[in-house]
């Protein structure tokens, strides 16, 4: 399988019909997309199906796709849109409590917790408690910005909001997390 210089080069080759480039895209991003999609729903099969459908649609429509500077951003946005639609279809049959969109939860991989020292685990626990206090939109914005390293502009586009709203959501989330850590530190001493 040929190695490409960049994501953009893989994307261009894929758009020109290179099956090896398509396979490389799938292998490079399927797990990352699964991790992201799992934040929206506990239904792992729904996430897997959405990822499969996304890649099938990409292959089918490859000649109509444009260039992108961030394949990861493009795939996140497409998967998010597909999952929201799938969850809305599913919600027609199951009553949903939340009207503000799908729930978004950040969970940590078990391997990370096993490898870290006790202090790291304490910090993780505190962070989780703080994240639980955030709204689903704040958790999603924090995840995209700091865990997936998307720019504020990309976060805004993935979440279908303005960049200004993204800054506000993330600022307020960080402010809440800081307050949570201050309260926890006061409690310790």
Over residues 79-92, the pLDDT tens digits come to: 999 988 888 877 66
Percent of the chain at pLDDT exceeding 70 = 78
| pLDDT bucket at 93, cuts 50 / 70 / 90 | low
How confident is the model at residue 112, as a pLDDT? Answer: 39
160-183 pLDDT, tens digit each: 999 999 999 999 999 988 887 776
Asked if residues 82 and 33 have their Cβ atoms less than 8 Å apart, the reply is no
Nearby residues of 100 by Cβ (< 8 Å), 6 or more positions away: 135, 136, 137
5-33 pLDDT, tens digit each: 788 888 999 899 999 999 999 999 999 99
Q: How far apart are CA 1 and CA 44, in angstroms?
A: 30
CA distances from 22 to 1, 59, 132 (A): 11, 8, 37
Average pLDDT rounded to a whole number, residues 126-150: 88
How confident is the model at residue 117, as a pLDDT? Answer: 53
Asked if residues 40 and 83 have their Cβ atoms less than 8 Å apart, the reply is yes
CA distances from 92 to 14, 16, 131, 176 (A): 36, 39, 29, 34
Q: How far apart are CA 31 and CA 36, in angstroms?
A: 9
Asked if residues 116 and 141 have their Cβ atoms less than 8 Å apart, the reply is no
Asked if residues 87 and 40 have their Cβ atoms less than 8 Å apart, the reply is yes
* CA 111, chain centre distance (Å): 19
| pLDDT bucket at 184, cuts 50 / 70 / 90 | low
Supply the DSSP symbol for 27.
H
Percent of the chain at pLDDT exceeding 90 = 40
Per mean pLDDT, which range of 39-43, 91-95, 130-134, 167-171 is the poorest? 91-95
| pLDDT bucket at 97, cuts 50 / 70 / 90 | very low
Is residue 145 packed enough to be buried (19+ CB in 10 Å), middle (13-18) or exposed (0-12)? buried
pTM (2 d.p.):
0.61
For the chain, list the domains and their CATH numbers: 7-91 (1.10.1740.10), 110-188 (1.10.10.10)
For the chain, state the CA radius of gyration.
19
| Gap between the terminal Cα atoms of the chain | 57
Kind and range of the H or E run holding 118:
helix 118-132
50-64 pLDDT, tens digit each: 999 999 999 999 889
Q: Residue 153 corresponds to which tokens in the numbers above? A: 């502009």
């Amino acid at each position: 399988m040929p190695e490409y210089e960049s994501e953009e080069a893989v994307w261009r080759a894929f758009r020109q019909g290179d099956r090896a480039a398509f396979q490389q895209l799938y292998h490079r991003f399927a797990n990352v997309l699964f991790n992201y999609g799992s934040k929206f729903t506990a239904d792992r099969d729904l996430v897997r199906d959405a990822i499969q459908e996304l890649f099938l649609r990409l292959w089918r429509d490859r000649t109509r796709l444009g260039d992108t500077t961030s394949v990861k951003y493009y795939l996140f946005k497409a998967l998010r849109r597909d999952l929201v639609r799938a969850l809305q279809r599913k919600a027609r049959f199951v009553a949903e409590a939340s009207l503000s969109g799908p729930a978004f939860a950040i969970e940590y991989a078990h391997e990370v917790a096993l490898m870290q020292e006790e202090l790291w685990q304490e910090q993780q626990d505190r962070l989780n408690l703080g994240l639980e206090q955030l709204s689903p939109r704040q958790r999603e914005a924090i995840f995209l910005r700091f865990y997936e390293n998307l720019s504020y502009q990309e976060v805004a586009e993935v979440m279908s909001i303005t960049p200004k709203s993204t800054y506000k959501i993330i600022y307020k989330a960080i402010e809440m997390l800081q307050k949570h850590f201050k309260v926890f530190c006061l409690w310790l001493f």
